[in-house]
Amino acid sequence: MIPSENFASKAVREAVGSVFMHKYSEGYPFKRYYEGNYNIDDLEELAKTRAAELFSIPDDWSVNVQALSGSPANLAVYLGLLKPGDTIMGMYLPDGGHLSHGWSYEPKEKQNPAELKYEGGSRKVNVTSQFYRSVQYKTDPETQLLDYDVIEKIALDEKPKLIVTGGTAYPREIDYRRMKAIAEKAGAYYLADIAHEAGLVSAGVNASPVGIADVVTFTTHKTLRASRGAIILGRSELMKQIDRAVFPGLQGGPHNHSIAGIAVGLHEAMQPEFKVYAQQVVTNAQTLAKALAEHNFSIVSGGTDKHLVLIDLTGKGVFGRKYARALDYAGIIANMNTMPQETRPPADPSALRVGTPWITTRGLKEEHMWQIADWMNRVMEQVAGYDSELEFEDFDKRAASDKELAGIADEVRSLCKKYPLEI
Ligand code: DSN
């Protein structure tokens, strides 16, 4: 139930394991540095054409399918459009942003919750904070939503060269038109990173930033359910520089087998059944959020518009790290996560993140979300009874031999057997 994961079809997996893995093809279609690339040229063109069609790009936009994954895709956009030292502005990582949106921090820094701008710290853990100056916007402390007036004020004060939206744990839709207007006022490029929701956007279940933002990046293996990789869509006049940043700026030969898997996955996402799947992903996540709330779990932002649910565990006494491990012993794989107004360390944060892309691929529907919420509640009730002072290693040992958790794992296994992964 990790929201950034999915299970790709046999056809996608066969494409990734195909002979396309053997060929070097530095360059772009029909302009390669190596001979023997006729089939590779056709393959890359096919992937680009399918991406353009699926995401309905305007005539003056173009596509790059060579970036190896989401972080390299974002880095290519920065390398193509910015100079080292320019200011980028993204969402604060603990509120749900992404490392590649300029993350750095100061160890043991106490955050002032009322301060909605974050200027980073000396630990420039991501390359994007080493090469660029980074300022970040936080979510509103009350609503846990983006506050566009605050973002506008920060943008006008800081005059970033590029503003980026998107991330890994923000469960709500983003107002792309408002963000573009803010970027224009501040004189910034606007990059919409839709890695998490690309499949939902392609299916029309979530709004699309294509044609609104200047550039759109996304990974291809999350809700989009293709193979691992990334796609960059953007205004053609900018894509010239971004293409050069991908190759030769950051990479050598593209991973043609990944591009093959992407081309197959894009074809699958064009089928009517994928739209049904994408809608069910969101319906399942919304049902899960509702069912968890009925078990007195606090849901960040009160719900979800997408495929993921962020659970605030501060009222439960068992936080993300221990709860995720206990769920694992009960057959439910999720991940610990930070949350808005986070006060705990990233390695032992306050929240748990769950998602529905993979379980929906299995065929699970609303009634199963109630069952899963019930299991998650039973796990919480069980481990809330442990001594709260237990160190993680001792907690782990106790959970590993907990018969209640093992019993839930048996129930999970029998549901999974009824809904095998066989697309
Ligand atoms: N690692 C991804 C996630 O889990 O959200 C983002 O890159």
HSE of 375, CA atoms in CB hemisphere, 13 A: 26
- Whose tokens are 């890994």? That residue is 168
Residue 250 within a domain: yes
In this model, does residue 110 exceed pLDDT 90? no
Contact criterion met (CB below 8 Å) for 198 and 266: no
Q: Give the three-state DSSP class for 73.
A: helix
Give dist(CA 407, CA 409) in Å, integer.
5
Q: Domain for residue 220, yes or no?
A: yes
Rounded average pLDDT over 160-170? 97
pTM for this structure? Answer: 0.97
With residue 321 as reference, give the H or E element that holds it: helix 320-329
pLDDT given for residue 111 in this prediction: 77
CA dihedral sign, ordered 310, 315, 320, 322: negative
- Among 351, 362, 354, smallest CA distance to 330 is for 354
For residue 240, name the pLDDT band (cuts at 50, 70, 90): very high
Report yes or no on 188 lying in a domain. yes
| Domain with 362 in it | 272-418
Of the residues 269, 295, 318, the one at which a domain ends: 269
Q: Are 286 and 67 in contact (CB under 8 A)?
A: no
Mutate to test the pocket of ligand 1, among 1, 4, 103 (most ligand atoms within 8 A of CB): 4
The residue type of 363 is: G
Summarize the confidence of residues 277-281 as an average pLDDT. 98
Euclidean distance between CA atoms 274 and 312, whole angstroms: 31
- 168 Cα to the center of ligand 1, angstroms: 6
The residue whose C-alpha atom lies closest to atom 6 belonging to ligand 1 is 168
Q: How far apart are CA 350 and CA 316, in angstroms?
A: 10
285: enclosing H helix or E strand = helix 272-294
Among the atoms of ligand 1, which is closest to the Cα of residue 71?
A: 7
Task: Name the pLDDT band for 274 (thresholds 50, 70, 90).
Answer: very high
130-156 pLDDT tens trace: 999 999 999 999 999 999 999 999 999
* Rounded CA separation 70/76 (Å): 10
Q: Output the pLDDT for position 112.
A: 82
224 and 373 within one domain: no
Residue 423 has pLDDT above 90, yes or no: no
Based on the domain organization, do 244 and 101 belong to the same domain? yes
Taking 3-state DSSP, the helix, strand and coil percentages for the chain, each rounded to the nearest 5, stand at 45, 15, 40
CATH number at residue 171: 3.40.640.10
Same domain, 212 and 358: no
Same domain? 306 vs 359: yes
- Among the candidates 228, 246, 269, a domain finishes at 269
Q: Is residue 393 part of a domain?
A: yes
* Distance from C-alpha of 329 to C-alpha of 331, rounded to nearest angstrom: 5
For residue 289, how far is its CA from the centre of ligand 1 (angstroms)? 20
pLDDT at 157 over 80: yes
Q: Could you identify the atom of ligand 1 that is nearest to the CA of residue 196? A: 5
**Mean per-residue pLDDT of the chain:** 97
Average pLDDT over residues 279-304: 98
**Can you tell me which atom of ligand 1 is nearest the CA of 99?**
7
Residue 99 is labelled as binding a ligand: yes
The predicted pLDDT at position 114 comes to 83
Residues 319 and 181 in one domain: no
Domain count, the chain: 2
Number of Cβ within a 10 Å radius of residue 314:
14
Question: Is the pLDDT confidence value at 62 over 90?
Answer: yes
Same-domain status, 237 and 323: no
404's CB contacts (< 8 A; 6+ apart) are 378, 382
Q: Is 59 helix (H, G, I), strand (E, B) or coil?
A: coil
Residue 317, pLDDT > 90, answer no
Q: How far is CA 305 from the centre of its chain?
A: 14
Containing 217, the helix (H) or strand (E) segment is strand 215-219
Question: Ligand 1 centroid to 2 CA: how many Å?
Answer: 9
**Amino acid at residue number 165:** T
Which residues make beta-bridge pairs with 111?
none
Let me know if residue 375 belongs to a domain. yes
- 275: number of Cβ within 10 Å: 15
Do 214 and 355 lie in one domain? The reply is no
Ligand 1 centroid to residue 389 C-alpha, Å: 30
- Nearest residue (by CA) to ligand 1, atom 3, is 4
Q: In this predicted structure, what is the pLDDT of residue 167?
A: 93
Of the three residues 269, 294, 315, the one that is the final residue of a domain is 269
pLDDT at 73: 98
d(CA 2, CA 308): 8
As a whole number of angstroms, the distance between CA 408 and CA 411 comes to: 5
Domain of 292, CATH number, reads 3.90.1150.10
Q: Where does ligand 1 bind, in terms of residues with CB under 6 Å?
A: 4, 70, 98, 168
The whole-angstrom separation of Cα 254 and Cα 21 is 10
Alpha-carbon distance values, 117 to 58, 129, 228, 401 (Å): 34, 16, 33, 45
Q: Tell me which residue has its CA closest to atom 2 in ligand 1.
A: 4
pLDDT for residue 242 is more than 90: yes
pLDDT-above-90 percentage for the chain: 97
For position 41, what pLDDT does the model report? 98
Task: Collapse the DSSP code of 37 into the 3-class scheme (helix H, G, I; strand E, B; otherwise coil) and give the result.
Answer: coil
Number of helices (H) and strands (E), helices first, in the chain?
15, 14
Q: Are residues 18 and 131 in the same domain?
A: yes
Task: Check whether 294 is labelled as a binding-site residue.
Answer: no
Is 68 annotated as belonging to a binding site? Answer: no
SS3 236: helix
CA–centroid distance, 331 to ligand 1, in Å, is 21
On whether both 221 and 83 belong to a single domain, the answer is yes
Q: Is residue 3 part of a domain?
A: no
168 CA: nearest ligand 1 atom: 5
Pair (31, 143) in one structural domain:
yes
220: left (phi over 0), alpha (psi -120 to 50) or beta: alpha
Q: Is the pLDDT of residue 227 over 80?
A: yes
Residue 423: inside a domain: no
Buried b (16+ CB within 10 A) or exposed e, 66-98: bbbbbbbbbbbbbbbbbeeeebbbbbbbbbbbb
Q: Which two tokens stand for residue 136?
A: 């970040």
**Do 337 and 248 sit in the same domain of this protein?**
no
In a domain, 2, yes or no: no
Digit-coded pLDDT (tens) for 12-53: 999 999 999 999 999 999 999 999 999 999 999 999 999 999
Whether residue 401 is found in the same domain as residue 264: no
